[in-house]
Amino acid sequence: MKRLLFVTLLILNIVSCGVPKDIMLPNKKVTVDNGIVNFNGKPYTGKINLGTKKETSGFVTVKNGQLDGLTDVDNKSKKISMKFNVVESKLDGELVIKNEDQKIDMIVTYSKGKIIKLIGNFSENIKYNLTFKDGLAHGWFESGGEKFTFIDGITSLTDGNIKADVKYYINQETGNMGMESFINGESMGKKEMPNKIFNMEYFKMLALSSVSESNVE
């Protein structure tokens, strides 16, 4: 019985040795095909180091070819640095992103793919310090030097004799960011927009393009 167990473990160890858990780029065996990271033509599980000689450095962690775990990338060609964690194909925990060209310097906190906090500068004129509870904004948002404070998702605006309440929220099902305006409690209109900047697909694209760039000898 002990011999059988020993042989089994030995075979498993030999098999596992065929695929390294830590890869340094460039590596001809690594490819990115249709959003999947492959090693020797098969979906890879492990850590991919982007190297330090090129304009891109850091590492990407994948499981079965998909982002899973911690990714930390500094892409100087795109002037973007980012650090984030993925659990079961969803962003989870703190995401730190800096984009020199667009003046983005943000910390976004996720819980199972849902945004629960936005802090930092989205541009020179747009700043966030918001926490989302049940999708409703709490805190403040600044645009063009004007600050708007939200409590339970609501901020109040006055235009002459007209007073309006504006609700700022994140749709908990779709992840879309939305605003709805009210006058005397009656809805005057609602608009939701896809979260194109702080979503999984956006960061996946940046991470995998960094892998491809670093894999050129």
DSSP reduced 3-state for 140? strand
- Looking at residue 19, its pLDDT comes to 72
Nearest to 45 by CA among 25, 28, 61: 61
Burial of 110 (0-12, 13-18, 19+ CB in 10 A): buried
Q: Are 93 and 110 in contact (CB under 8 A)?
A: yes
Q: For the chain, give me the number of helices (H) and strands (E)?
A: 2, 20
pLDDT means over runs of 10, the chain (217 residues) = 48 53 93 96 96 86 97 93 97 96 94 94 94 96 93 92 92 90 92 88 94 90
First to last CA, the chain: 49
Please list the residues that pair with 94 across neighbouring strands.
Answer: 109
How far is Cα 58 from Cα 74, in angstroms, rounded to an integer? 6
Q: Are 123 and 110 in contact (CB under 8 A)?
A: no
Q: Which residues of 14-31 are buried (b: 16+ CB within 10 A; e: fewer)?
A: eeeeeeeeebebebeebb
- Looking at residue 20, its pLDDT comes to 85
pTM value? Answer: 0.85
DSSP string, 191-212: EEE---SSSHHHHHHHHHHHHH
For 151-169, the pLDDT digits (tens) are 999 999 988 888 899 999 9
For 28-50, the pLDDT digits (tens) are 999 999 999 999 999 999 999 99
- Looking at residue 62, its pLDDT comes to 97
Q: Residues with Cβ < 8 Å from 32, sequence gap 6 or more?
A: 38, 208, 211, 212, 215
Q: Residues with Cβ < 8 Å from 184, sequence gap 6 or more?
A: none
Nearest to 57 by CA among 188, 172, 210, 216: 210
Q: Which residues of 70-107 are buried (b: 16+ CB within 10 A; e: fewer)?
A: ebbbbbeebebbbbbbbeeeebbeebebbbeeeebbbe
- Looking at residue 2, its pLDDT comes to 54
